[in-house]
Amino acid sequence: MKKNLVFDFVIILIVLLGAAYFAFKKPIKMGLDLKGGVYVVMEAVAEDGGTITSNDMDRLIEVLERRVNGFGVSEAVVQKTGDKRVIIELPGIKDTQKAVETIGKTAFLEFKLVESDGSLTETGVNGKDLKQADISYDNFGRPQIVFELTIEGAKKFAELTRNNIGRQLAITLDGEVQTSPTIKSEIPGGKGTISGGYTIEEAKSLKTLLNAGALPVKAEILETRTVGATLGDESIAQSKQAGIIAIVLVMAFMAIFYKLPGLIADVALTICGIIIFGTLNYFEATLTLPGIAGLILTLGMAVDANVIIFERIKEELRGGNSILKSVENGFKKAYSAILDGNITTLIITAILFSLGTGPVKGFAVTLTIGILASMFTAITATRFMLKTLVLYTDIKNPKFFGVRGK
């Protein structure tokens, strides 16, 4: 019995110190809804019923990453989700409107043949085939764009130019014709120039668009969410206030209703809180507004295991058992209810996590961690404190356990 207590104490101390270390090591990461910023979901769209390969997706992400880097945000995220979607997160951006516009600028490059009536025909050569573009100067010192195609693209381009010498080839970005040079000869090596009497500024911006903007596939914006910094600050202040009030109310209730064990539950709740924060920080979980609500909700539910145990102890005391015996039996008999109840809740959080997006996932994570932490503290920390108290002090009156009468 006493040996077990030492063991319990060591476990609790290790977990608590570890959690406290991670809880205070660095500030917890906050989601866009708290910090302000931009959240964008894009989807790659295949042309003419084609398929999107994982290679297309890799290149799309690469291009988007290059664009996002332009914002100089340190915690920017470009992340693939599902088969053909990309999530972009830019926390702390001030000009949210502009950011969305820049990310969303689709810039899909296509080469199209110009027909005699001025209409354009698809050639099947597009941004997918472009390797890179650069600026050079012709013999007269006029800026021009030189571009290099991929091996696959070079083959297609050679065939295209061979069969259409003398015709105009339009270069379009997002369907808008940028320039329509005439094909003078077959271009076999996959290298070409676009000379259109550009100023140096025009040439530069065209180069940038081709490089950073030539998406391998068309990408559509499905969802954007931008949160201004003011709203984020307000949300943080309000959640803090709500959290503190919730803690005070729950703790007061436990102390008033369960007396001595209630106070112990309050200490356990504090330990539980530190463990939750430490774990969240260790896994670099992002705290969102629903996530905070999940945390506060957890506080209310966290005492459930304690309530189940204390009610059992009271029953044992009413049945005439000694305090020590009652505490032991109370814990023993409460286990199965605590376990079954929490496992079913964990099933739900697992579903929330796997099917939810963004903030809902955050909510599921905090709820899961909260449930596990509260289970741990209830059966280790509460038990340790309660047993120590019963073993080493002289408490004999069931009144301290909230049992009336006798």
Q: Which is nearer to other proteins, 280 or 371 (CB)?
A: 371
Q: Which of 86, 169, 296, 390 binds other proteins (CB under 8 A)?
A: 296
Q: What angle do CA 150, 154, 157 make, to 5 degrees?
A: 135
Q: What is the DSSP secondary-structure string of 226-263?
A: EE-HHHHHHHHHHHHHHHHHHHHHHHHHHHHHHHHHHH
Dihedral through CA 235, CA 238, CA 241, CA 247, nearest 10?
-70
64 near other proteins (CB under 8 A): no
89: enclosing H helix or E strand: strand 85-91
Asked if 92 interacts with other proteins (CB under 8 A), we say no
CA neighbor of 217 nearest in space, from 391, 41, 380, 59:
59
Binding to other proteins by residue 345, rule CB under 8 A? yes
Task: Report the nearest approach of other proteins to the CB of residue 367 (Å).
Answer: 7
If one asks whether residue 181 binds other proteins (CB under 8 A), the answer comes out as no
CB of 239 to other proteins, least distance (A): 6
Site for other proteins (CB under 8 A): which residue of 303, 317, 327, 381?
A: 303
The CA-atom distances, in angstroms, between 358 and each of 80, 222, 318, 363, 401 are 13, 14, 49, 9, 44
The DSSP symbol for 115 reads: P
Q: What secondary structure letter does DSSP report for 168?
A: B
Q: What DSSP element (H or E) covers 153?
A: helix 151-163
| Sequence-ordered list of residues with C-beta below 8 angstroms from that of 270, at least 6 positions apart, any chain | none
DSSP string, 125-139: EEGGGEEEEEEEE-T
> Is 341 an interacting residue with respect to other proteins (CB under 8 A)?
yes
Q: Are 372 and 282 in contact (CB under 8 A)?
A: no
The residue (of 130 and 307) whose beta carbon lies closer to other proteins is 307
Taking CB under 8 A as the binding criterion, the range among 2-10, 55-63, 356-364, 383-391 that sits at the site for other proteins is 356-364
Of 331 and 363, nearer to other proteins (C-beta) is: 363
- Residue from the set 120, 285, 299, 381 that interacts with other proteins by CB under 8 A: 299
Minimal distance in Å, beta carbon 234 to other proteins? Answer: 7
Q: Which residues ranging from 221 to 280 are in contact with other proteins (CB under 8 A)?
A: 221-228, 230-231, 234-235, 238-239, 241-243, 245-246, 249-250, 253-254, 257
Minimum separation from the CB atom of position 388 to other proteins (A) = 24
> Look-up: residue for tokens 């209810």?
337
Q: What is the C-alpha radius of gyration for the chain, rounded to an integer number of angstroms?
A: 32
Closer CB to other proteins, residue 113 or residue 215?
215
Contact partners, residue 303, CB within 8 Å, separation at least 6: 250, 254, 265, 269, 374
> Does 74 participate in binding other proteins (rule CB under 8 A)?
no
Closer residue to other proteins in complex, CB, 134/234: 234
Query: Site for other proteins (CB under 8 A): how many residues?
Result: 70
Residues 97-136 within binding reach of other proteins (CB under 8 A): 97, 100-101, 104
Q: Which of 81, 35, 80, 17 lies closest to 286 in space, CA to CA?
A: 35
For position 307 contacting other proteins by CB under 8 A, the verdict is: yes
Contact status: 300 vs other proteins (CB under 8 A): yes
| Distance in Å, CB of 296 to other proteins, minimum | 5
- Shortest distance, CB of residue 365 to other proteins, whole angstroms? 12
Going from the C-alpha of 101 to that of each of 107, 220, 380, the distances in angstroms are 12, 12, 53
Only segment of 16-24, 201-209, 298-306, 388-396 that touches other proteins (CB under 8 A): 298-306
Task: Go through 358-391 and write b for each residue having 16 or more CB atoms within 10 A of its CB, e for each that does not.
Answer: bbbbbbbbbbbbbbbbbbbbbbbbbbbbbbebbe
DSSP characters over 22-53: HHHHSPPPB-HHHH-EEEEEEEEE-GGG----
Q: Which residue in 46, 200, 324, 351 binds other proteins (CB under 8 A)?
A: 351
Which residues make up the interface to other proteins (CB under 8 A)? 41, 43, 96-97, 100-101, 104, 220-228, 230-231, 234-235, 238-239, 241-243, 245-246, 249-250, 253-254, 257, 289-290, 293-294, 296-297, 299-301, 303-304, 307-308, 311, 315, 333, 336-337, 340-345, 347-349, 351-352, 355-360, 363-364, 367
